[in-house]
Structure 1
Amino acid sequence: MISNKAKYAFRALLSVAALPEGETITSAEIARRHAIPHKFLEQILLDLKKAGILESRRGKSGGYVMLRPSDTVSFGEILRLFDGPLAPLPCLSRQAYRPCDECESEALCEIRREFGRAYDASRRILDNRTLADALAGAPATPLTGKEERLVG
């Protein structure tokens, strides 16, 4: 499961990304629209600013805007930002790799192999789906062969 923080980040980002170019939205408006605790949302928006995804503008027409185009922001990137590595096992992680203590051989590990197949399929989807795809309602590229059975 993804954390509430990640869910709120997705809701906030989709709200900002849906705006016409140059328009802003305040954190208070995002919080109101999505029933997100305002103080919690402010921390999330700050994390998104630090990551170079959002920009905040001050003044009468201030608020948040996308710093990067929505078609360059993937669901995988945001999920990693808020929830850490996507891998279900530490031996599968590309960013936080460590061998499992009890494993004698990664090459022969049935658990690693099966979870690796499922992880590869989900990672591919999350890393290829963007905010723009979600806003456009674009269908995901179908998986092929055995991978469809793993995800479906």
Structure 2
Amino acid sequence: MLSQKTRYALRALVELARAGGAQQTSGELALRADAPRKFLEAILLELSRARIVVSRRGKFGGYILARPAGEISFAEVIRALEGPLALAPCVSLTAFRKCDDCPDLATCTLREALSRARDATASVLEAYSLADAAAQGRADPPVPGAAAPP
């Protein structure tokens, strides 16, 4: 289940994608993402460290996406804030380790189902970008992973 922190992050990033490269302040993003400003500022700092957003300081400061919205997937954002997408560490591609209570990986009866769930989840979230989400509500909803219309 996604944390509130990640939901706020995704909503703010979608608003940055909708801004089309225009810089947005944390206050503007907090209003548009319906998120508490101070909490969102901390989240944006984490996203900046993960190189998902770029921050500019000063009177005319704000945030922009570090790359085009179509190149930033939901999976990348979730991994940056929550960690691996896998339900158990023994099926994680990015943070593999044997489960503490598992006597043998080869005979584990849970691993196959958890691996399939990881693959299905990763497939959907890797293919769905901030640009896809930003286009929601327009006349023709995007196909996840498809190029945005000209």
Name the TM-score, length of structure 2 as normaliser.
0.83
SS of residue matched to 1:82: helix
Structure 1 Cα separation of the partners of residues 8 and 100 of structure 2: 35
Amino acid at match of 2:11: R
SS of corresponding position for 1:94: coil
- Which runs of 5 or more structure 2 residues have no equivalent in the other structure? 136-140, 146-150
In structure 1, what is the Cα distance between the partners aligned to 2:106 and 2:80? 29
Shift of 1:100: 2.1
**What's the secondary structure of 2:20's corresponding residue?**
coil
Q: Which runs of 5+ in 1 are unaligned?
A: 142-152
Distance 1:101 1:20, change over 3 A: closer
Shift of 1:110: 2.2
Q: Residue 37 of structure 1 aligns with which residue?
A: 36
Distance in 1, Cα, partners of 2:27 & 2:100: 47
- Give the superposition deviation at 1:73: 0.6
Within a 5 Å distance, the mapping from 1:2-151 to structure 2 comes to 2-21=2-21, 23-58=22-57, 61-136=60-135, 137-140=141-144
Provide closer, same or farther for how the CA distance between residues 56 and 100 of structure 1 changes in structure 2, counting only shifts above 3 A.
Answer: closer
Q: In structure 2, how many angstroms separate the alpha carbons of the residues matched to 1:135 and 1:33? A: 13
CA RMSD of aligned residues (A): 1.8
Q: Which has the higher helix share?
A: 1
Aligned pairs, how many? 140
Q: Which residue of 2 aligns with 1:150?
A: none
Determine the C-alpha separation between the residues in 2 that align with 1:40 and 1:98.
32
Cα distance 1:45–1:102, how it changes in 2: closer, same or farther (>3 A)? closer
**Cα gap change, 1:102 to 1:57, in 2 (>3 Å):** closer
Aligned residues of 1:85 and 1:95 also touching (Cα < 8 A): yes
**Aligned AA for 2:125?**
L
User: How far does residue 61 in structure 1 lie from its aligned partner after superposition?
Assistant: 4.3
1:93-125 CA distances to partner (integer Å, 9 max, x unpaired)?
A: 122211123334323322111121121111111
